[in-house]
Amino acid sequence: MVDLATVRIFEGENADMNESEQDEKIGNEYLYRALRLTVECQDEYCKIKPGHGTGFIVRSHADGRPAGEHFLVTNRHVVDRTYSRSGRTPWGSSTLVSIRIDGYFQRPRYPNDLPERTSLTMSNPSPVYPTNEDLDVAVIALPSSSDEGKPPERIFNSFPIMKLQSADEIMNGQIQVGSSLLMPGYPELAELEVSDRPVLVGGWIASDPRYSASIMGVERPRRVLGHSFSRAGMSGAPALGLLPAEIDWMGDPQGARVTLLGINTGHVHLSNEPSVISEFVPAPAILSTIAKAGDAFARSRVESALRRSAMEDVEVQDLWLPEPLSE
- Across 246-256, average pLDDT: 65
The pLDDT value given to residue 286: 94
Could you give the number of structural domains in the chain? 1
Confirm whether 6 is domain-assigned: no
Q: In the predicted model, is pLDDT for residue 223 greater than 70? A: yes
SS (H, E, C) 261-295: EEEEEEECCCCCCCCCEEEEEECHHHHHHHHHCCC
- Beta bridge partners of residue 282, listed in sequence order: 262
- Across 305-312, average pLDDT: 79
The CATH number of whichever domain residue 206 belongs to comes to 2.40.10.120
Q: What radius of gyration, in Å, describes the C-alpha atoms of the chain?
A: 19
How much is the mean pLDDT over the chain? Answer: 78
Confirm whether 279 is domain-assigned: yes
- Across 252-269, average pLDDT: 81
Confirm whether 14 is domain-assigned: no
| Residue 93: pLDDT band with limits 50, 70, 90 | low
Helix (H) or strand (E) holding 28: helix 28-31
User: In this predicted model, which residue has the larger pLDDT, 16 or 59?
Assistant: 59
Confirm whether 169 is domain-assigned: yes
| Residue 107: pLDDT band with limits 50, 70, 90 | confident
Confirm whether 2 is domain-assigned: no
Spatial contact of 55 and 159, defined as CB atoms under 8 Å apart: no
Closest CA to 36 of 262, 198, 159, 240: 198
Other residues' Cβ atoms within 10 Å of the Cβ of residue 53: 28
- Across 73-93, average pLDDT: 73
| Residue 41: pLDDT band with limits 50, 70, 90 | confident
CA atoms within 13 A of residue 107's CA, in its CB half-sphere: 7
The pLDDT value given to residue 56: 96
Q: How far is CA 199 from CA 45, 173, 183, 306, 313, in A?
A: 36, 29, 8, 36, 41
Confirm whether 125 is domain-assigned: yes
Q: How far is CA 247 from CA 171, 226, 244, in A?
A: 19, 28, 10
| Residue 39: pLDDT band with limits 50, 70, 90 | confident
The pLDDT value given to residue 109: 76
User: In this predicted model, which residue has the larger pLDDT, 75 or 19?
Assistant: 75
Closest CA to 290 of 302, 306, 280: 302
Q: Which range marks the domain in which residue 60 is found?
A: 19-320
Confirm whether 294 is domain-assigned: yes
Helix (H) or strand (E) holding 302: helix 296-311
Q: In the predicted model, is pLDDT for residue 12 greater than 60? A: no
Q: In the predicted model, is pLDDT for residue 17 greater than 60? A: no
The pLDDT value given to residue 23: 44
Percent of the chain with pLDDT strictly greater than 90? 25
> 18-22, 56-60, 115-119, 143-147: which has the minimum mean pLDDT?
18-22
| Residues 6+ away with beta carbon under 8 Å from 261 | 165, 175, 181, 209, 224, 239, 240, 241, 280, 282, 283
DSSP state of 2: B
Dump the DSSP string for 96-148: EEEEEEEEEE--TT-TTSPPEEEEEEEES---B--SSTTS--EEEEE-----T
Distance CA 313, CA 89 (A): 39
Closest CA to 102 of 128, 120, 116: 120
DSSP state of 194: B
Q: In the predicted model, is pLDDT for residue 43 greater than 50? A: yes
- What does pTM read for this prediction? 0.84
User: In this predicted model, which residue has the larger pLDDT, 32 or 318?
Assistant: 32
Confirm whether 4 is domain-assigned: no
